[in-house]
Structure formats: structure tokens, C-alpha cells
Amino acid sequence: MSFFNRIGDFGNDFGKYSSMLKDAKEQYDKFREAYDGFGGSSRGGGRRKCTTIPGRHSTSRSERKNPFAGLAKQDYKEIQSKCLEEGIHFEDPEFPAVDESIFFSRQPPRPFEWKRPHEICDDPQWISDGASRFDVRQGELGDCWLLAAVASLTCNPKLFNWVVDPSQNFTDNYCGLFKFTFWHQGDWQEVVVDDRLPTYRNQLVFMHSTEKNEFWSALLEKAYAKLMGSYESLKGGSSSEAMEDFTGGVTEMFDLQDKTPPNLLSIMLKASERGSLMGCSIDADPHKTEAELDNGLIMGHAYSVTSVQLVTSVITKRFPLLSLATVTKMPASLLIHTKGLRSREWSLLSEEEKQELGLNFEDDGEFWMSFQDFTGNFQKLEICNLGPDSLDEEDLSNKKKWECHKENGQWVKRVNAGGCRNYLGRLKIDWSIKIRKGQKNKAV
């Protein structure tokens, strides 16, 4: 074949491939136009760009190693503005309405359906007649530790309004988007969620309010589940974990079984006065889940201490009473023992004192105990002392205020991270700070 014939064949092939490329470009342009039409916006020169899904942002390779990178980039006002502009309801790409957001280790026991509040009831409310510890009811998830912390949170309106923005609703600028604020990795983190919730037969499956049309507690649990990775991740825990995430505070642990401090009552009275969050529990029975004692208290169940009071009896003797709350229905034996039907303490109180305490005999999850009964039955007490960000000067008149100093770093496997207490041999390499008491600072 001559050189010129080869040149001619090459020209024919070039024309054929050029036509194929032209067809491919036309197909691409049609696809791009259709894709942009689905969620795009135009800009100068008639060129269109694809609009980012609300709440999703591109991340670098290093950021993808951090499971919280996408969460930190979600901005409530930005997402709300985009959803309202496009007339859509927010669907959270960082915590999608799929089974994997509920369970990470298994399939759901039955098919759950994700529904928005207005699909569950006719008149959904964010907060109905104020938030209280009586709003919080446990669902099918074993997260009583979280619910105990939430019940304690409702006793401090200032803290509650910081974590759960009360101005949100299902009417004004509603787009299926809600926000919460948690203390996370040494800083306050805004967590946004859509309002799709797991249901079965049109009933909420997990945490819910007593009022069927109130949804702040269910969405608070969802936001916390998002922070932890899934609903299943909330199964089993310590109330102090959630208390710290709600307040940015520091938790003290007290062993009431063998090492009860002699001034425990004074500690609890001061903690109650300063608005600290408190929780208590009895060690679980390893052979039975949530075993019930003769007096109705549940082993392995988390309770919140909502009030510590010194009351005056009709014989003028002052004695301490503690108010506790549980997020489950109280056993009949506990209801009888603590609601006054067989309680000697109640017979010593005047009617005026009972009214001041708000005593009632309803099964609302709240009950009272004497301090002696409290220390004789419970084995662990957690007190979360509020950090400086959670207290105002008006709360601290003539009182000492916590101060905070932060050191930022990271855990590096086998360098300064030895693991949890299951690996005691490696704990010695864990990152730590040595604090020495100085002459001016008698306590640390």
C-alpha cells in the first residue's frame, strides 16, 4: 500500500471517529441539560451548573477520614435558605432514612417506615405547653441512660433552650429541617437533621413525648444518634456521657456502695442549687436484663436526680428528700413505696410543704426518696458540674466559677492511645496530663 493510500485511510478513520465523538458530546450535553434541570441554576453566558444537594459538601481525602467532617460543614441557615428557595423538604444526606442509620450490626426486626411529623398526626408541635421531664418516654431502644440525661436537662430551662432551640416550629419557614447544639470534641457543634422518624404502624419506635403531637424529644434523640453514627450506637451507655455533651461540663463519679463520702448530702445540695445534672443507677444483674428489686427499683436502669430538698416536718425536724425520675412506667411496688401510700416521711410533712414540693400520686415517672433510702439502694451517682459556658454571672453571685483551659491534640494508635479499660496493660501509654496542687489551689 502506497504512502498516499495510507494517508487516505487515516483520513477516513479520523472522520469516522470525529463523528462518533460529536455524537457522544451531543449525548453528554443532553444528559447535562437534563441533570441541571433537575436541580441546577443558571449563571452568566447561558452556562448551567449542578446545584449541590442541600446539606452535602465535597470533602478532601483527609477530611473523609474524619467521620464528622461532613457534619461540621452543614450550616442550618444555608440549608434552610436553599430548601425554601427550591420549595423542597430537607433530606439529610449525612444521616439518610435507611436501615443502616438505625442498626449497624443487623437488620431491623420488622420493616420501619420513616415519616415526617405531619404524616403521623394532624397538628405537629415542636414543644407543647413547655418542656418537662414528663415529656420523655422511652421507646424500643435500650438508651435509658440518654433519656435520664434528657430528663435532667429539662430541669434547667437555660441549658435546655441552648441544646433544643425552642423557636423552631412546623409552620414558619418550615422545610423539614431542625437543629440542636451539643458539646463535641472540645467545642459546641451544631447538628442538623431532617424530621423523618422511624415508625411502625404510624407510631414512633424510639424516644417520644407523652403528648402524641410533640416532637422535640424524638428529634433530639435522632440528632444524638446522628452524632454517634446510628440509633443502635445509643444502646447502653452512661448518663454522664450525655450530660457532658449537653453542657460541656465535667462529671464526678461517686461509688455509693463502698466509698460514700461523708459530706455527700452537702455535695448534692450544692450541685442541685447550681443546676448541675445528676444521675444514679444500681449495678446490673449479669444474669438478667433490668432485674426488678423488691422495692420496685430496676437494676442496670438509669435514673435522674431532679431535686434535692431539706424539708421541715410537723415536729420541726429538718430532713433531706430526693426527687428522682424514670423514663419508664414505674412498677406498682415502687409506686406504693415512694408515692406516699406507705411512706413514713410523707406523714411528717404538712400539707403546705407537700404542695411546695409538688407532691402528687400519679404514675408520672417521678418519685421521692429519703436520703437514707437513696444511699442504701443506689450504687453509683454521677454529677455533671456545669462548665463556664453554661453559667451566667447572675447565676454565680458570691460563688466561685469554673474556669476552663483547653489543649488540642489527637489520639494516635499505639503512641498515646492504648484503648479502653478492656486493655489495662496498654492504658499506661494513654495521653494524660499531670496536675499538681499548688499552695493557692487546694483542690483540683
Q: Give whichever of 57-61, 84-88, 141-145 has the largest mean pLDDT.
A: 84-88
Per-residue pLDDT tens digits for 110-155 = 899 999 999 999 999 999 888 887 778 888 888 888 988 998 898 8
> Which member of 144, 175, 280, 384 is catalytic?
144
Q: What is the pLDDT of residue 115?
A: 97
Q: Identify the band that residue 373 occupies on the pLDDT scale cut at 50, 70 and 90.
A: confident
Tell me if 112 sits within 8 A of 199, measured CB to CB: yes
Residues in the chain: 444
Q: What is the pLDDT of residue 181?
A: 96
Amino acid at 430: D
Q: What is the C-alpha separation between 125 and 216, in angstroms, rounded?
A: 8
pLDDT: is 41 or 354 the higher one? 354
Give me the mean pLDDT over the 61-76 stretch: 70
Domains of the chain: 3-50 (no CATH), 68-244 (no CATH), 250-385 (3.90.70.10), 409-444 (no CATH)
191 strand-pairing partners: 180
Give me the mean pLDDT over the 100-116 stretch: 92
Residue 300 backbone class (left: φ over 0; alpha: ψ -120 to 50; beta: rest): left
CA distances to 68, 138, 147, 314, 414 from 151, rounded to whole Å, are 27, 11, 6, 32, 39
Q: Identify the band that residue 336 occupies on the pLDDT scale cut at 50, 70 and 90.
A: very low
Average pLDDT, the chain: 78
Per-residue pLDDT tens digits for 203-244 = 999 999 989 999 999 999 999 999 999 999 998 888 889 999
- Cα dihedral across residues 123, 128, 134, 137: positive or negative: positive
Residues 6+ apart with CB under 8 A from 20: none
Q: Is the confidence at residue 423, as pLDDT, over 80? A: no
CA distances to 207, 313, 324, 339 from 352, rounded to whole Å, are 36, 11, 21, 17
Q: What is the pLDDT of residue 129?
A: 84
Tell me if 127 sits within 8 A of 220, measured CB to CB: no
Q: What is the pLDDT of residue 18?
A: 62
Tell me if 419 sits within 8 A of 426, measured CB to CB: yes
Residues 6+ apart with CB under 8 A from 85: none
Q: What is the C-alpha separation between 143 and 207, in angstroms, rounded?
A: 9
Q: Is the confidence at residue 317, as pLDDT, over 60? A: yes
pLDDT: is 391 or 110 the higher one? 110
Q: What is the pLDDT of residue 6?
A: 52
* Nearest one of 55, 138, 57, 36 to 96, comparing CA atoms: 55
CA distances to 57, 269, 297, 323, 444 from 308, rounded to whole Å, are 47, 6, 19, 6, 25
Q: Identify the band that residue 28 occupies on the pLDDT scale cut at 50, 70 and 90.
A: low
Stretch among 86-90, 313-317, 362-366 having the lowest mean pLDDT: 362-366
Per-residue pLDDT tens digits for 185-201 = 888 999 999 999 999 99
Catalytic: 301? yes
User: Model pTM?
Assistant: 0.73
> Which member of 155, 208, 301, 384 is catalytic?
301
Q: What is the pLDDT of residue 268?
A: 93
250 strand-pairing partners: 385
* Nearest one of 309, 327, 302 to 151, comparing CA atoms: 327
Catalytic: 121? no
Tell me if 352 sits within 8 A of 404, measured CB to CB: no
